[in-house]
Amino acid sequence: MTPILQTAIELIVAAGLVGGGFFALVGSWGLIRLPRPMQRLHAPTKATTIGVGAALLASSIGSLPVTGTVSIQEWLITLFLLLTAPISALFLAKTLILRGEADPDLPDPGTGTPWATLGQERPDP
Amino acid sequence: MILGYALTFMFACIGLAFALNIWRLFTAPTLTDRIVTLDTMTINAIALVVLYGIRAGTGLYLEAAVLLALTGFLGTVAYCKFLLRGSIIE
């Protein structure tokens, strides 16, 4: 591996780390800063997708000069995080609606029935 | 050289994010906000583990990151399910 290529890889990894750190900070700051509960669901997704994503990308490329291959495990973590983020967001939004903590001007679902989270029969726990 | 500075910068950013999260955990206005904050803390912990792996120069720490991602997601869903239905496994 030529030195110039090594420097280029190091620069890419450093850029990924700096960007990832910045966005992780933005995600946690938005959690405090945003005024409404449904908006606060949105802030940590930046930390998930860009923050951790950039760090994992940097780790994956950073292993290239050491081992000679791009490691695959980071991509699995990124894939898993991207797959599970919408599911947990859906559950959190349902919790907000059920507990009445969502915005008061929640739009109508458009099916003629109330929101499914509120309308269904709840079993005795 | 430049990699060391970038690593230190990101360690500082994640540490500050952790501090903000812990403050939020104690001052959250609603219960759902606490769940969101715990989810964000798990994400930050994954980033921290991956960073430590980069600094140590091994891929061993990635398995800890995978486990954290798994249990973090399950924890969030379990908390939400408990609030939604009153029980986790019906």
Res A120: pLDDT:
61
Query: pLDDT below 50 — which residues of chain B?
Result: none
* Closest of B51, B78, B86 to residue A59, by C-alpha: B51
Res A21: pLDDT:
92
Residues of chain B positioned with their CB less than 8 A from the CB of A31: 20-21, 24, 33, 36-37, 40
Give B55-64 pLDDT, tens digit per residue. 888 888 889 9
Give A62-117 pLDDT, tens digit per residue. 888 777 787 888 888 999 998 998 999 999 998 988 888 877 777 887 877 777 77
Res B56: pLDDT:
87
Res A123: pLDDT:
52
Q: What is the DSSP string of B22-67?
A: HHHHHH-SSHHHHHHHHHHHHHHHHHHHHHHHHHHT-STHHHHHHH
CB contact under 8 A, A81 and B43: yes
CB atoms within 10 A of CB B55: 14
Predicted complex: ipTM over 0.90: no
